[in-house]
Amino acid sequence: MHSSHYSSRIGRRLTGLTFLRVLLISFFLGATLLLDINASRFAELPPLHHRLYMGLIVFTYVLTIIYALWIRLRTPSTMLAYVQIGFDLLITTTLVTFTGGFHSSPFLFTLYLPIIAAAILSTLRASITIATIVTIITIITALIYLGVIPSPEAMDTTLVGGSTRTILLEAGLNISFTYLLAWSAGQLAKQLGQAHTEIAQSKLDIRNLQTLNENILASLNSGLLTVDQSMTIIFFNRAAEQITGHHLNDIFGKKLESLFPELANTLTSETAFNERHELNFTPPGEKTPLFLGFSISPLLDSDRQHTGHIIIFQDLSNYKRLEELAARNEKLAAIGQLSAAIAHEIRNPLASISGSVEMLQSISSLSEDEHALMNIVLNEVERLNKLISEFLDYTRPRPLNLEHTSITELFDETLLLFSHHSNAINVTFNKDDDLPLIPMDKEALKGVLWNLLVNAAQAMDELPEDEQQIHIHIELNDAQISIAVEDNGTGLAPADAQHMFEPFFTTKDTGTGLGLATAFRIMEAHKGEIMLTTPRQLRGACFMLSLPTKPPHN
């Protein structure tokens, strides 16, 4: 990774150096074409220098093309940097030497460019090395001007003027400037490199932090959305999509009221923050609403200014149902204890009443009307005794007799009996294949199913026979068997549904109100559940039973 980063960095710098070289060469070429050379300093130069000048331009263009192809076709490396610096030094030295040297060449500044390039492309040491080479060239040139070293034939020293002292002074100044430039360029390049590294690391840290933040938000089990000051949705995490059934692409940029209208109205009040909000929400394509809990916090920017709202929400439907179940169990337990105590106290006087009436019936002088009245009393006493027995069965259920039984067999037997009881009702029954045997008290569950079927039949008494339908569906869900029993009756009012499994509660003109309460206790003993849900196919009531496929543990 470090090698790849280094190659990328030196590649960018070599590309920049190549681009700068093209600009300089184009400038020189343009100056040659546009300016009247005969009227410039070049008029004093022999034709050889003109050809040399143009040859250097052409040679540099060719090298630049080669460099560009090398960078494009091969991985940039330090060797390519050294090759470029070396050729640049050769070209600039030739150009400066044969156009007046350090004393009077108009291109003297180009001699310093390889020093800067070395600092940028390599290190301070490379920059000092190039500066040393430039220094040696300067010393040799000075010695040529002083006559210590013979002048090359192509080098015209007649353009150079000044005393020995002046030449030495200028040479010293150029040498000093060369090393000062090398050191300064090296230090600056070093600082720029460190800054670039720090910036690259900062970008990487920011990118990692952003990725971590996105992963955290995406991994939350709670739904999270944010809105701006205009209540426009600007963020929607994965859990929010799963809970609401809406995708981010569909909801982004829309108003909050299009998703949660009640919550949008709440956010306009001053009491929206630091409070718990709850509401029902029905996902698209679903019939059963979810119970969602919301917590709202202000969305702040880097200056701690309020820019919107952060809304976190969870699906609390299961918790709400368990809460209602716990409250119902607590209520049923209290009612059951009271019922058991009352039942025992009522049975004793009933026994006395029954015995007394039977003794009175033995009197021969009683009229037929008196006998009829006494029979009514005995029948009512028997009905009360039966009701009390049901109460005691409810408050003190017998232990379950669990056996691994086929749920299909249980339904087949119960539906056969029900067909003789209500043969006009159309009962449809479908189930998953290969349902396992489950531990159950067959007789107890048969009573639960019978009660549901009879209640469904009574709910459809006033319907025409061709509209009286009961649908039963059984499916396997993981370690649970779910049983839905629904009818085509009038259904139940929401107010009645809340009390459906309470003892003594009934919507019928006759009835004890103990059938569903007992069914609730039986399902509870099996570690299962019975609940009232929204019908899947018909329009009436739907009772959903769930039974574990493994034996319940107390």
For residue 448, pLDDT beyond 50: yes
What's the pLDDT at 459? Answer: 85
Q: Which of 404-408, 428-432, 502-506 has the highest mean pLDDT?
A: 404-408
Question: Which SS3 state, helix, strand or coil, does residue 263 take?
Answer: helix
For residue 292, pLDDT beyond 70: yes
Bigger pLDDT: 204 vs 260? 260
* Lowest mean pLDDT segment, chosen from 63-67, 297-301, 380-384: 63-67
User: What is the spatial distance between Cα 225 and Cα 248, in angstroms, rounded to a whole number?
Assistant: 10
Q: Work out the average pLDDT over 446-459.
A: 88
**Which helix (H) or strand (E) element contains residue 510?**
none
Percent of the chain residues past pLDDT 70, beyond the cut: 79
For residue 222, pLDDT beyond 50: yes
501 secondary structure, DSSP code: T
User: What is the spatial distance between Cα 269 and Cα 275, in angstroms, rounded to a whole number?
Assistant: 12
Residue with tokens 């560009």, as numbered in its chain = 68
User: What is the spatial distance between Cα 468 and Cα 502, in angstroms, rounded to a whole number?
Assistant: 27
For residue 13, pLDDT beyond 70: no
Residue 543 pLDDT level (bands cut at 50, 70, 90):
very high
For residue 282, pLDDT beyond 60: yes
* Lowest mean pLDDT segment, chosen from 90-99, 200-209, 289-298, 412-421: 90-99
What's the pLDDT at 332? Answer: 64
Q: Work out the average pLDDT over 27-42.
A: 52
What digits encode the pLDDT tens for the residues 502-542? Answer: 777 777 766 667 778 888 888 888 888 898 888 888 888 89
What digits encode the pLDDT tens for the residues 233-271? Answer: 988 888 888 888 888 888 888 988 888 888 888 776 554
What's the pLDDT at 71? Answer: 66
For residue 156, pLDDT beyond 70: no
Contact 503, 514 (CB under 8 A): yes
What's the pLDDT at 309? Answer: 87
Question: Which SS3 state, helix, strand or coil, does residue 503 take?
Answer: coil
**Which helix (H) or strand (E) element contains residue 55?**
helix 47-73
- The β-bridge relationship of strands 469-477 and 426-431 is parallel
Cα angle 530, 531, 535 (rounded to 5 degrees) comes to: 125
Average pLDDT, the chain: 77
Q: Work out the average pLDDT over 90-118.
A: 73
Q: Which of 62-66, 210-214, 489-493 has the highest mean pLDDT?
A: 489-493
For residue 388, pLDDT beyond 80: no
Residue 486 pLDDT level (bands cut at 50, 70, 90):
very high
Percent of the chain residues past pLDDT 90, beyond the cut: 3
